[in-house]
Structure 1
């Protein structure tokens, strides 16, 4: 079964909007795991507009499933990950002040840089994943970085699926097949939702994990957090 990792950035955004501790991030992460999710994802950014760096430390003792920290491996981020030692680090090429991730790594252009960063994380026992588009040349180059996994950037699939274009999943299927053949694990994330997750899962062989935040939290406003987590788990079986 594909694991569900819930990105709790939006919970932190809501908390920060009032400057207090409601909703409490630790309580929400604990509850999400009790509801059945197999992982917690956070994506701290340099301006700490949602997840704060201290949150990463505070979450460490209560995440009993898989702990995934996403971000651009600038010095501050690397120091955080090496100190916290999550289950997995997902490398994302965000720029400063970026609203949300909108592109994967150019693993050809940045191969030597990624090799150096990934070696540091793996030497500390942290599983590594690279956020990436479906270009097969980039998948091949990703396998040369030493990464354990890739995370397929799924915004284009989600956009096209909403328009009724189910063929949009084909590049993702091809990328997943190649990645598996090259010894890479396969994760996916960005704009996956209750509407498209079952179809995506059915068409992506060897899909190890999906990371879902924005859609899951938005859906929970209507349907309830526990209910939505279990709806995702059912669709991923």
Structure 2
């Protein structure tokens, strides 16, 4: 069964827009788990424009499902991973000033750096995943880096889905099969929603986890958080 990890960054964005603690992201995480989510994802950026460092430490005390912390692996991020010891650390290549993750790693160019960082994180008992585009050479590079999993960057799939879903998914199916053949676990994320989620799940049988934030939070404004999480779970496991 593919697990749903809810990225709660946008709840923190809403809180920060007004100050105070409404919505309370710790309570949101607990509610997401109570409503059926199998994981909680956060991305504590250096400017703390959504999830703060303190949020991460507060969440450590309450998250009972899989806790996934994603981010650019600078010194600050690695210190958080060492101290929090989440279930999974997802490494993304975006620098601190970008709006959102918009590309995968060049695992060939960055092999030495990624290998060293991955070994360090794994020595803390934390599973590693790296953000990657659907390319077999980059997938082989990820394997050489020693990561446990990769997370397929699905923005290209999501953008092309409505025009030609078969063509949109083709590279991802090939890449997913290759990852499975070389022994890499497989996650996916970015712009997945209620319209395109079921199709990618049916086409990629090896998918272990999806991380969904923006679309899920937007849907929750209309459907309510509990109902929305159940809707996403149905799309994943129908």
Band the TM-score falls in, shorter-chain normalisation: over 0.9
Within 5 A, what are the aligned runs for 1:17-56?
17-56=17-56
Cα shift at 1:75: 0.3
Unaligned runs of 5+ in 2: none
TM (norm. structure 1) is 0.99
2:105 aligned residue: 105
2:127 aligned residue: 127
Q: How many residues align?
A: 237
**How far apart, CA to CA, are the structure 2 residues paired with 1:164 and 1:185?**
27
Secondary structure of 1:129's aligned partner: strand
| Regions of 4+ moved over 3 Å | none
Secondary structure of 1:211's aligned partner: strand
Cα shift at 1:159: 0.4
1:228 aligned residue: 228
Within 5 A, what are the aligned runs for 1:185-224?
185-224=185-224
**How far apart, CA to CA, are the structure 2 residues paired with 1:96 and 1:125?**
26
2:139 aligned residue: 139
Unaligned runs of 5+ in 1: none
Cα shift at 1:135: 1.2
C-alpha root-mean-square deviation of aligned residues, in Å? 0.7
**How far apart, CA to CA, are the structure 2 residues paired with 1:234 and 1:205?**
16
**How far apart, CA to CA, are the structure 2 residues paired with 1:161 and 1:37?**
25
Cα shift at 1:165: 3.6
2:180 aligned residue: 180
**How far apart, CA to CA, are the structure 1 residues paired with 2:179 and 2:166?**
21
